[in-house]
Amino acid sequence: LLSAVPQIGEIAQITAEQLVNIGSQDIDEEIWIKLSCRVNELLNCDDIDGIVITHGTDTMEESAFFLQLTTNSTKAVVLTGAMRPSTSLSADGPLNLYNAVAVAACDDASDRGVMVTMNNSIFSATDVTKMHTTDIDAFQAPENGKIGSITGSKVTFNTPPYHHTLTFPIKDGIKLPKVGIVYSYGGIDPDMVTFMIENKYRGIVHAGVGNGNIHKNIFPILEEGAREGILIVRSSRVAAGPVTLENEVDDNKYHFVASQGLNPQKSRILLMLSLTKTHNWEEVQRYFNMFVL
Ligand code: GLU
């Protein structure tokens, strides 16, 4: 990849290593932990100013958010990828890689947590999501927008630095609790949820309709799950907007957690990490409240 973009040598000194070689559709918790441990090691090296991670686009937002929650450094960590294959006309990978290095090497990038750069835009790992299956402009931050852009090799940020304070320390070999996502739809079958309860999931993220609303076919099952100590997070299948506390659902009564600004896949990551610290729904809600839109 680096030899395809010799211009990178003009803006940074690079050392490269390969942690895994997979399609990102096959990512899992073990790889996230391995990646996070290595990134933390590198962030502690005095001779490293920033880190670029090349990643498949399918789950890039999940890996970026996992790193956001498990690293704590003022140095830039930047993920990037490509929407077009390297063999296609106007492949976007080389420029995306160049841009990611330009961001990681830029003084202004310090204290902005984990970022994703795609198609000349810079996003916070917290806000970014893949919004299109094929476009080179696939990555967007539907609520907060991009935090900066790259033109030529000039990196410009349009937000002030922000130090992300919520960090879950991760050790090699740690096992994360079983957390699943149930996607709601008209007439959803209760089996979709009873399966998770019977199979001892410790947390369930409900990708609900609208502002995290729950179909009557599964509401009582989730309610019973919460009573038994399973953490239930109400997120939404809607692409933008928050899931707010106490809207149509009485979260306080049912001990449900509202996902605030996090989509279902990011809610799952925060819930897994939260469960390494607490099983108290109010404490978990406090973690999610850090992502109010
Ligand atoms: N599906 C693969 C992945 O996410 C490659 C396609 C892409 O990066 O867009 O790793």
- Rounded CA gap, 274 and 252, in Å? 19
Cβ atoms of 42 and 60 closer than 8 Å: no
Look at residue 112 in the predicted model and tell me its pLDDT: 97
Q: How far is the CA of 55 from the centre of ligand 1 (A)?
A: 8
Q: How far is the CA of 27 from the centre of ligand 1 (A)?
A: 11
Digit-coded pLDDT (tens) for 73-122: 999 999 999 999 999 999 999 999 999 999 999 999 999 999 999 999 99
* Ligand 1, residues at Cβ distance < 6 Å: 23-25, 56-58, 81-83
- What token pair was written down for 19? 């942690």
Look at residue 79 in the predicted model and tell me its pLDDT: 98
Q: How far is the CA of 23 from the centre of ligand 1 (A)?
A: 6
- The atom number, within ligand 1, closest to the CA of 60 reads 4
- Rounded CA gap, 184 and 189, in Å? 9
User: How many residues are listed for the chain in this entry?
Assistant: 293
Place of tokens 């299956």: 133
Digit-coded pLDDT (tens) for 108-124: 999 999 999 999 999 99
- Rounded CA gap, 58 and 130, in Å? 7
Look at residue 127 in the predicted model and tell me its pLDDT: 97
Look at residue 165 in the predicted model and tell me its pLDDT: 87
Place of tokens 């080389």: 94
Cβ atoms of 187 and 177 closer than 8 Å: no
Choose one of 25, 96, 131 to mutate for the ligand 1 pocket test, by most ligand atoms within 8 angstroms of C-beta: 25
Q: What is the CA radius of gyration of the chain?
A: 20
Q: How far is the CA of 81 from the centre of ligand 1 (A)?
A: 8
Digit-coded pLDDT (tens) for 7-43: 999 999 999 999 999 999 999 999 999 999 999 999 9
Cβ atoms of 233 and 272 closer than 8 Å: no
- With 90 as the cut, is the pLDDT of residue 1 above it? no
